[in-house]
Copies of this chain bind each other. A is one copy, B any other.
Amino acid sequence: MSEMLIDQRNLAFELYEVLDAEGLTQRPRFADHNRETFDAAIGTARTIAEKLFAPHNRKSDENEPKYVDGAAELIPEVKPAVDAFLEAGFLNATRTFEQGGMQMPNLLSQACFAHFQSANAATSSYPMLTMGAANLIENFGTEEQKERFLQPMIEGRFFGTMALTEPHAGSSLSDIRTKAEPAADGSYRLKGNKIFISGGDHPLSENIVHMVLAKLPDAPPGVKGISLFIVPKFLVNDDGSLGERNDVVLAGLFHKMGWRGTTSTALNFGDKDNCVGYLVGKPHQGLACMFQMMNEARIGVGMGAVMLGYAGYLYSLNYARERPQGRLPDGKDPTAPQVSIIEHTDVKRMLLAQKSYVEGAFDLGLYAARLFDDTETLETEAERKTALELLDLLTPIVKAWPSDYCLKANELAIQILGGHGYTREYPVEQYYRDNRLNPIHEGTNGIQSLDLLARKVVMNNGSALKQLSALIQATCKQAAAHAELNELREPLEKLLAHLGKVTVALLGDLGQGKVNEAVANSALYLKAFGHMVIGWRWLQQAVHAQKGLSKGVEADVAFYQGKLQAARYFLLWEVPSCHHDLNVLENRDATCLDMQDEWF
C-alpha cells in the first residue's frame, strides 16, 4: 500500500541522489539531523497516511460536510487522522526545537506531507491551511498575537484559514469590500462577506483563526489599500482561555465537484456589527504579507496536484499489470492467452506520459522545497537572496504546471482503467475530480502566466531567468559527459535557446509599453517555460540515473532504465511540442487579442 502513495525507491532517489538531502545536515540549523532521522520521519508519515488518511478518502467524498445548526459537520474519521498528524509533529516539522518543532528542512517536511496529500487531499487540507495561517502570524504578527494565536496553533488547538475571496472579487483582490473600522481598544471591527474559504468551519479544533483581507477607512484604492487581520472564531482571553463567540458566521457551504471532504465556506463577518479583528503587520500592507507567503502556499498546491497525479499513476500502473485484455497487433491467434494491458504500446504510452508528468513535477516540487531551505539557511545574505530570486521565478511553474499536467495524468489513469475507471468503485475518478481544483485556486493558471511573464521574468533586469538558464546549461554540461544522453540533451538546449529569443522579444514589447500585446499569449509562454523547466529536471534525473547505473547494482537497473525512458519520453515527445507555442508568441499572433465579444 505504501507503494501506492509514493514509490519509495523514487523518493529515496530524489532525496539522496538528485537533491542531496544529506548535504543539508551540514548546515547549523539541520546539524542534529541525518538520513536516519529523515527516514524515520518519512516512515511515520507513511504509516499515518496509510492507516488513518487513505481509508476514509472515498468516504469523505461520498459524505461531504453538512451544514447543521450553523456549523459544519464532518465524518468522524477526519479528526483522529488529523490528531495523529498533529501528535507526530508534522504541523511543526520545520519549526525550531525551541518552538516545539522538529527543526527539519522544508524539503523533508514537504516529502513527509506529500504522503498525506496522496492519501487524502481533503483531510490534509486542514493542517495545510493552518500552517499557512500560522506562518503569516509568525512572520508578521506582534509578540502578543503570537502568544495568543500562534502558540495554540502550533499546539494544534487552534486551526487557521486564509480569507481572501469575496463574491465579486476573486482574481481581482483590489476590489474587495470587506471593511475594518478601528475600535477604541486598538482592535478593529470587520464587516463583509467572504466565499470559498476552505476550512472556514469544522469541529477539528477549539478555535479557528481566520486571516482576513479587509480595507481600513483611509485605505488608498487598489491593492495598496488592503490590510491583513486576525479574526478568531472565538475571542481569546488574556489567560489564553476561550472567550465569547466572535461575530463571524458560517453562512453556508459550497458543494464541489471534488475535494469534497474539505469544507468550502461562505463566511459573514460583522452581521451584528461586532466582529473583532486584529491588524497584522502594517496598515495597507496586507497583500504584501500574503504575497510573501505565496511561494510556500503555491508549492503546497503544486505538490498537492502532483500527489493526486502520482496516486492515479501508481493505481493505473498496478491495474495495467493485472488486467489481461487482448493480444498484440501481430498476435493473430485468438486461442492464445490474453496479455496484460501493460503489454500494449498505447497503454505504455499512457503510463509513460503519467510517469513523466508526475515524477517530473514531483522532482520540481521537492527542488523548490529545497530552494526554500536555501532562502533560509544558506550562509550569506547574498546567497539567500539569489536562491529567493530563483524560487520567485519558479513559483508560478511549481503551482501551474502540475495542476495542468498531473490533472492530465489523472485523465490518462481513468482511460487505462476504461469503463471501470469511470465508476466510483475505483479511486481514479475521484483523483481526477479532486485535481480539477488545482488550476483554479491559489491564483488561477491564467494569473500564474501573467505573474511569470510580466513580473517574475522581468524583475531585477531578468536576473532570475539568467540564473535559471545557467543552471539548465550546467545540467546540459553534465549530461554531455554521457553520450547516451545526447538525444535527450539536444531538445532541451534547443528549447532554452528558442525561449530565450522569444523572451527578449516580448520584454522588448513590454519596454515599449505594448503591455496588452506583450502578455496577450502568456498562457503559451507559461506552457513552454514549464516544459523547459520540467525538461531540465528530467535531464537532471537522467544524469543521476546514468550515475546510478554506472555503480552496477543489479537491483537498481530496472529503476534507472525506467527513469531514462521517462526522461526520453518527456524530452522527445513533449519538449519539442513547445516550438509551435513559441512560434505563435514570436509572431505576436493577435488572434485572441483581436477577438471581439460580439463575434462569439
A residues whose Cβ falls under 8 Å from a Cβ of B: 165, 168-172, 174-175, 195-196, 221-223, 254-258, 264, 317, 321, 324-330, 334-335, 338, 340, 342-349, 351-352, 355, 411, 414-415, 418-419, 421-425, 429, 432-433, 436-437, 439-441, 444-446, 449-450, 454, 513, 515-516, 519-523, 558-559, 561-562, 565, 568-569, 572-573, 576-577, 579-580, 583-584, 589, 591-600
Q: Known contacts being A175-B338, A598-B558, is A414 close to B429, with CB within 8 Å?
A: no
Cβ contact within 8 Å between A591 and B572: yes
Question: How far, in Å, is A30 (CB) from chain B's closest CB?
Answer: 34
Chain B residues with Cβ below 8 Å from A580 are 576-577, 579-580
Closest residue of chain B to A564 (Cβ to Cβ) is: B599
Closest residue of chain B to A571 (Cβ to Cβ) is: B591
Question: How far, in Å, is A501 (CB) from chain B's closest CB?
Answer: 18
Cβ contact within 8 Å between A349 and B437: no
Closest residue of chain B to A594 (Cβ to Cβ) is: B565
Chain B residues with Cβ below 8 Å from A569 are 591-592
Among candidates B254, B325, B419, B454, residue contacting A329 with C-beta atoms closer than 8 Å: B454
Cβ contact within 8 Å between A421 and B440: yes
Interface centre among A195, A254, A441 (most CB of B within 10 A): A254
Chain B residues with Cβ below 8 Å from A589 are 572-573
How far is B579's CA from A579's CA once the two chains are assembled, in angstroms?
11
Cβ contact within 8 Å between B591 and A425: no
| A to B CB contacts below 8 Å, 19 in the list | A168-B324, A169-B325, A170-B419, A175-B334, A222-B334, A222-B335, A255-B423, A256-B423, A329-B450, A330-B513, A345-B516, A346-B450, A351-B595, A411-B436, A415-B446, A558-B598, A565-B594, A565-B599, A573-B591
Instruction: Give the number of times this chain occurs in the complex, counting copies.
Output: 2
How far is B414's CA from A343's CA once the two chains are assembled, in angstroms?
35
How far is B346's CA from A519's CA once the two chains are assembled, in angstroms?
9
Chain B residues with Cβ below 8 Å from A221 are 334-335
Cβ contact within 8 Å between A257 and B423: yes
Cβ contact within 8 Å between B516 and A599: no
How far is B169's CA from A326's CA once the two chains are assembled, in angstroms?
8
Chain B residues with Cβ below 8 Å from A419 are 165, 170, 195-196, 254, 440-441
Chain B residues with Cβ below 8 Å from A600 are 317, 342, 351, 355, 562
Question: How far, in Å, is A169 (CB) from chain B's closest CB?
Answer: 8
Chain B residues with Cβ below 8 Å from A324 are 168
Among candidates B355, B562, B573, B584, residue contacting A584 with C-beta atoms closer than 8 Å: B573
How far is B220's CA from A408's CA once the two chains are assembled, in angstroms?
41
Cβ contact within 8 Å between A256 and B561: no
Among candidates B169, B170, B321, B520, residue contacting A345 with C-beta atoms closer than 8 Å: B520
Cβ contact within 8 Å between A595 and B565: yes
Cβ contact within 8 Å between A342 and B597: yes
Question: How far, in Å, is A134 (CB) from chain B's closest CB?
Answer: 24
Chain B residues with Cβ below 8 Å from A562 are 599-600
Closest residue of chain B to A437 (Cβ to Cβ) is: B422
Chain B residues with Cβ below 8 Å from A568 are 591
How far is B573's CA from A594's CA once the two chains are assembled, in angstroms?
14
Extra pairs beyond A171-B325, A175-B338, A344-B446 (7, CB < 8 Å): A172-B338, A257-B423, A343-B597, A349-B523, A349-B592, A418-B444, A568-B591
Q: Known contacts being A345-B592, A579-B580, is A256 close to B329, with CB within 8 Å?
A: no
Cβ contact within 8 Å between B170 and A325: yes
Chain B residues with Cβ below 8 Å from A170 are 325, 418-419
How far is B596's CA from A559's CA once the two chains are assembled, in angstroms?
11
Cβ contact within 8 Å between A565 and B591: yes
Among candidates B174, B348, B515, residue contacting A330 with C-beta atoms closer than 8 Å: B515
How far is B588's CA from A345's CA once the two chains are assembled, in angstroms?
13
How far is B486's CA from A86's CA once the two chains are assembled, in angstroms?
65
Closest residue of chain B to A170 (Cβ to Cβ) is: B418
Question: How far, in Å, is A310 (CB) from chain B's closest CB?
Answer: 13
Q: Known contacts being A352-B591, A591-B565, is A422 close to B446, with CB within 8 Å?
A: no
Question: How far, in Å, is A509 (CB) from chain B's closest CB?
Answer: 12
Question: How far, in Å, is A323 (CB) from chain B's closest CB?
Answer: 9
How far is B327's CA from A562's CA once the two chains are assembled, in angstroms?
47
Chain B residues with Cβ below 8 Å from A255 are 423-425
Q: Known contacts being A256-B422, A345-B516, A433-B433, is A558 close to B330, with CB within 8 Å?
A: no
How far is B22's CA from A20's CA once the two chains are assembled, in angstroms?
72
Question: How far, in Å, is A441 (CB) from chain B's closest CB?
Answer: 7
Cβ contact within 8 Å between A515 and B329: yes
Question: How far, in Å, is A463 (CB) from chain B's closest CB?
Answer: 23
Chain B residues with Cβ below 8 Å from A257 are 422-424, 429, 432-433
Chain B residues with Cβ below 8 Å from A425 are 254-255
How far is B317's CA from A595's CA once the two chains are assembled, in angstroms?
13
Chain B residues with Cβ below 8 Å from A414 are 436, 440
Chain B residues with Cβ below 8 Å from A436 are 411, 414, 422, 429, 432
How far is B444's CA from A302's CA once the two chains are assembled, in angstroms?
30
Question: How far, in Å, is A193 (CB) from chain B's closest CB?
Answer: 14
Chain B residues with Cβ below 8 Å from A321 are 597
Cβ contact within 8 Å between A325 and B172: yes
Chain B residues with Cβ below 8 Å from A450 are 329, 346
Question: How far, in Å, is A60 (CB) from chain B's closest CB?
Answer: 16
Chain B residues with Cβ below 8 Å from A596 are 558, 561
Cβ contact within 8 Å between B599 and A561: yes
Among candidates B256, B439, B595, residue contacting A415 with C-beta atoms closer than 8 Å: B439
Chain B residues with Cβ below 8 Å from A583 are 576
